[in-house]
Chains A and B, each alone.
Chain A
């Protein structure tokens, strides 16, 4: 892990206020390439807001976000996409009037600064992406025909179609049964092996604790812990912040 790439993604004093409401307060984060970071915290702690701020959906109130040594705070989402950051949404956002394959082709075409010209090439690439996320057989299905797990896979497929270097995943396992969760975890490991850095927001504790190299914990918009899963799960502040919520902090 070369020191030059240490600051793959760097958040400094990231603060976001909605009117008087502080959703994020001076959040600091450093991500190295190839890491899987788990981002956890009680509901309303600001995880999705953090994603929205990194991807440009919300403007920052204060702070700096640097990706590959370049300041990206203030850029529009599509530019951030072109620079190599992708994300999935907590509530999946498929394009309902397109088929599964067409959904992925959107990102394939437009994911980079210069839209891909060759249709056949784009189609082949999109089919590969679908195979990778396990939707190869359903490529001509309508979105309405998909199960929840399939929709999550499609969400991943869409994000991958833009060939991101950094992928932000927002509760991609929510609503899935244990088998499905296992499959997604495997998929995410394969993605990391393929060179994608992941930041994963999750409530499914055992999955994220197993998967992540490092866990960051948000609480009321502040980062209260940042370290290996074993350490974090024993952190007093973390345990307190989850008091009253039904979570099992499984170590290792």
Chain B
């Protein structure tokens, strides 16, 4: 795993500085878009971690929703500080990942894929069917983060910026850790990894749990930021789909890939949603197919090839 950090550091610093000063230049709508971008940076980066063990989750929205509902319901009940609330969202999401993972990760990748898809749908059903606990289909309202208004939006922006940086840092650290050896071994050849002393299920569950944690946190963040959450928004298949396409497009086995994908696709998605309206997801489908056939290393892989040619 060659270390190209030296080349990337100036670019990274520039990006961080730009992002840090963004609120000074942008109006409310653009700020809102950037907040969404950063939410997706977290979701895409987190989803990607699981891929490193050759597993995919088709229902990552489940963790988003669990975080969102945990955050909203606990906040309404006990008025905990929002940061703690968000952390709890992450913890609950991780716990459900552990349970789901232990059950499904003993089997081939497709098992988890289908199970996570079903899990997301099942969570939606659960929330709708227990209005006593969750207000059902009507959704839950909570006081807006930091009191609402434009000043609050800027604060929310810095908060999500911080969370995004942490989640990317997690991915970065993970990729350079001993754990990554286990992940990659399992990814490339699970039986061989087993024969070298690696317990595949254990490490797959670890990856799965890590991939759920920050997603739960941003779910809770989202509920606070929008001041409202309902089952269709929380467990929306759209979130799951974006979680997959962004890293795929950017580059699955990189740290920068999901970030790049999140930036491009959030903005592209918004653009499409406004212009095409119905059926705009078709573009996502086309991107998926094209990337799988022609761009398996994603955009980052493409960029690396160009750099090598020079």
Whether the Cβ atoms of A161 and B188 lie closer than 8 Å is no
Q: Which residues of chain B are near A106, meaning CB under 8 Å?
A: 181-182, 184-185, 193, 196, 198
What residue of chain A has the Cβ atom nearest to residue B181's Cβ?
A106
Stretch touching chain B among A12-20, A59-67, A74-82: A74-82
Whether the Cβ atoms of B196 and A158 lie closer than 8 Å is yes
What residue of chain B has the Cβ atom nearest to residue A56's Cβ?
B194
Bound-state CA distance A119–B177 (Å) is 10
Q: Which residues of chain B are near A81, meaning CB under 8 Å?
A: 194-197
Whether the Cβ atoms of B197 and A78 lie closer than 8 Å is yes
Bound-state CA distance A93–B182 (Å) is 15
Bound-state CA distance A76–B189 (Å) is 16
Residue in B184, B194, B197, B198 whose Cβ sees the most chain A Cβ within 10 Å: B197
- Is B199 located at the chain interface by the 8 A CB criterion? yes
Bound-state CA distance A61–B178 (Å) is 37
Whether the Cβ atoms of A95 and B197 lie closer than 8 Å is no
What residue of chain B has the Cβ atom nearest to residue A115's Cβ?
B178
Given contacts A106-B181, A115-B178, contact A96 B188 (CB under 8 A): yes
Q: Which residues, 94 to 149 on A, are CB-close (under 8 Å) to B?
A: 94-98, 102, 105-107, 109-112, 115, 119
Contact of B181 among A76, A77, A86, A102 (CB under 8 A): A102
- Is A203 located at the chain interface by the 8 A CB criterion? no
- Is A48 located at the chain interface by the 8 A CB criterion? no
- Is B192 located at the chain interface by the 8 A CB criterion? yes
Given contacts A102-B1, A105-B181, A119-B178, contact A110 B196 (CB under 8 A): yes
Q: Which residues of chain A are near B188, meaning CB under 8 Å?
A: 94-98
What residue of chain B has the Cβ atom nearest to residue A105's Cβ?
B181
The interface bits of chain B over 158-201 (1 if a CB of A lies within 8 angstroms of the residue's CB, else 0) are 00000000000000000000100110110111011111111110
Given contacts A102-B181, A106-B181, A106-B185, contact A111 B192 (CB under 8 A): no
Whether the Cβ atoms of B191 and A77 lie closer than 8 Å is yes
Given contacts A95-B185, A96-B188, A98-B184, contact A76 B178 (CB under 8 A): no
Whether the Cβ atoms of A95 and B199 lie closer than 8 Å is no
Whether the Cβ atoms of B194 and A107 lie closer than 8 Å is no
Contact of B194 among A78, A97, A105, A115 (CB under 8 A): A78
Given contacts A97-B184, A102-B181, contact A161 B196 (CB under 8 A): yes
Whether the Cβ atoms of B187 and A57 lie closer than 8 Å is no
- Is A233 located at the chain interface by the 8 A CB criterion? no
B297 CB to nearest A CB, Å? 12
Whether the Cβ atoms of A162 and B192 lie closer than 8 Å is no
Q: Which residues of chain A are near B195, meaning CB under 8 Å?
A: 55, 57, 77-78, 81, 86-87, 89, 159
What residue of chain B has the Cβ atom nearest to residue A116's Cβ?
B178
What residue of chain A has the Cβ atom nearest to residue B189's Cβ?
A93
B106 CB to nearest A CB, Å? 11
Bound-state CA distance A93–B187 (Å) is 12
Q: Which residues, 1 to 29 on B, are CB-close (under 8 Å) to A?
A: 1
Bound-state CA distance A78–B193 (Å) is 8
Q: Which residues of chain B are near A78, meaning CB under 8 Å?
A: 194-200
The interface bits of chain B over 186-220 (1 if a CB of A lies within 8 angstroms of the residue's CB, else 0) are 01110111111111100000000000000000000
What residue of chain B has the Cβ atom nearest to residue A87's Cβ?
B195
What residue of chain B has the Cβ atom nearest to residue A103's Cβ?
B185
Whether the Cβ atoms of A95 and B184 lie closer than 8 Å is yes
Q: Which residues of chain B are near A95, meaning CB under 8 Å?
A: 184-185, 188-189, 192-193
Residue in A77, A102, A109 whose Cβ sees the most chain B Cβ within 10 Å: A77
Q: Which residues of chain A are near B196, meaning CB under 8 Å?
A: 78, 81, 106-107, 110-111, 158, 161-162
Whether the Cβ atoms of A76 and B197 lie closer than 8 Å is no
Whether the Cβ atoms of B189 and A110 lie closer than 8 Å is no
Bound-state CA distance A215–B191 (Å) is 28
Given contacts A102-B181, A105-B181, A106-B185, contact A93 B192 (CB under 8 A): yes
B186 CB to nearest A CB, Å? 9
Bound-state CA distance A174–B178 (Å) is 33
> Interface of B with A (CB < 8 Å)?
1, 178, 181-182, 184-185, 187-189, 191-200, 253
Given A111-B196, A119-B178: 15 more A-B contacts, CB < 8 Å: A57-B191, A78-B195, A81-B197, A82-B197, A89-B195, A93-B192, A95-B184, A95-B188, A95-B193, A97-B187, A97-B188, A102-B1, A106-B182, A111-B197, A158-B192
14 of the cross-chain contacts (CB-CB < 8 Å) are A55-B195, A57-B191, A57-B195, A87-B195, A94-B192, A106-B181, A106-B182, A106-B185, A109-B178, A109-B181, A110-B197, A110-B198, A161-B196, A162-B196
Complex A-B, nearest 7 residue pairs according to Cβ-Cβ distance, in ascending order: A93-B192, A77-B194, A81-B197, A95-B188, A107-B196, A110-B197, A111-B197
> Interface of A with B (CB < 8 Å)?
55, 57, 76-78, 81-82, 86-87, 89, 93-98, 102, 105-107, 109-112, 115, 119, 158-159, 161-162
